[in-house]
Amino acid sequence: MFSALANMLRGIGHRIVDRLWRFGSGLRFFFYVLIYSGESFRRLHLTIREIYFTGVMSLIIILVSAFFVGMVLALQGYNTLQRYGSSEAIGVLVALSLVRELGPVVTALLFAGRAGTAITAEIGLMKATEQLSAMEMMAVSPVARVVAPRFWAGVFSMPLLAALFSMVGVLGGYLVAVPVIGVDSGAFWSQMQASVDFREDIINGVIKSVVFGVACTLIALFEGFDAPPTAEGVSRATTRTVVNSSLAVLGLDFVMTSFMIVA
């Protein structure tokens, strides 16, 4: 009984130390990427290629989800707002919730699922098939050649995707609110413009999406780079990418919102 308890404690301690260990090596990996990122700007075509795979290929899922999110927001918002006789405020509701929260957060979650998993699986497989070791043998740093371009591509794509998400979401909300429900088009836009602040809302949303871009891409890259070089290891790493990215996005979102909302 005593030894069982001791084993349990040991297990917990081991897990905590393991997490901290991985966190530390993740940070070290981040600095590596920053140090070696000169290469990704000097050989820009590598980064451009990765922007195509992470950013452009994610466009369809991001735009379609944004459209539906905007339409649902308008429907739900109208349902509640009309009870208070202020259904014109629907534009404010749709725009503020998209620009401040849903745009950056949902984009980051979709991005982690669409692009993050692809990055992890690709790098994990490169490691399993010893392509990374082969590069090192040829004195090519895999961090500079493989990791850094993907990192900068993710950081570049994320804010653009989030901005597109917010814009398309607002258009979706407009389509439901104005032609379908019959809210006045002028009131929709003018109330929105009166309440959405460029500095406080839009720029803060962009800041959020940049931070999410760094977090999601870095987690995907690190999990792939750190994956055990087996089929099982790669599959586990892919799962961890989605779980850790989503948790990181939601946690960071709370921290950043609490900073931004004070002022």
Partner 1 sequence: MERTTIDLWVGIFAAAGAAALFGLALKVGNFNSATLGETYSVTGAFENIGSLKPRAPVKSAGVVVGRVDNIRFDPETYEALVTVKVDKRYPFPKDTFANIYTAGLLGEQYIGLEAGGDDKMLQDGDKFSKTQDAVVLEKMISQFLYSKASESNEDKEAK
160 lies in the site for partner 1, by CB under 8 A: yes
Q: Which position among 86, 129, 131, 133 is part of the footprint of partner 1 (CB under 8 A)?
A: 86
187 lies in the site for partner 1, by CB under 8 A: no
Q: Which position has the token pair 């990791």? A: 147
How many residues line the site for partner 1 (CB under 8 A)? Answer: 33
Q: Which is nearer to partner 1, 121 or 170 (CB)?
A: 170
To partner 1, the closest distance from the beta carbon of 170 in angstroms equals: 6
Q: Which is nearer to partner 1, 199 or 232 (CB)?
A: 199
Q: Which position among 157, 204, 241, 244 is part of the footprint of partner 1 (CB under 8 A)?
A: 157
262 lies in the site for partner 1, by CB under 8 A: no
Q: Which is nearer to partner 1, 103 or 224 (CB)?
A: 103
Residue 6 has which token pair? Answer: 């001791």
Q: Name the nearest CA neighbour of 115 among 190, 178, 51.
A: 51
Q: Which is nearer to partner 1, 12 or 48 (CB)?
A: 48
83 lies in the site for partner 1, by CB under 8 A: no
Q: Map the footprint of partner 1 across residues 32-71, applying CB under 8 A.
A: 48-49, 51-52, 55-56, 59
Q: Map the footprint of partner 1 across residues 192-211, applying CB under 8 A.
A: 192-199, 201-202, 206
Build a one-symbol-per-residue string for 108-127: x at contacts with partner 1 by CB under 8 A, - elsewhere. Answer: --------------------
To partner 1, the closest distance from the beta carbon of 19 in angstroms equals: 35
Q: Which position has the token pair 């814009």? A: 167
163 lies in the site for partner 1, by CB under 8 A: yes
Q: Which is nearer to partner 1, 46 or 126 (CB)?
A: 46
Q: Name the nearest CA neighbour of 47 among 162, 155, 127.
A: 155
Q: What is the 3-state secondary structure (H, E, C) of 192-241?
A: HHHHCCHHHHHHHHHHHHHHHHHHHHHHHHHHHHHCCCCHHHHHHHHHHH
Residue 69 has which token pair? Answer: 């999110």
Q: Which is nearer to partner 1, 50 or 223 (CB)?
A: 50
Distance, in Å, from the CA atom of 223 to the CA atom of 228, rounded to the nearest integer, reads 10
Q: Which is nearer to partner 1, 174 or 225 (CB)?
A: 174
Q: Which residues bind partner 1 (CB under 8 A)?
A: 48-49, 51-52, 55-56, 59, 84, 86, 95, 99, 157, 159-161, 163-164, 166-168, 170, 189, 192-199, 201-202, 206
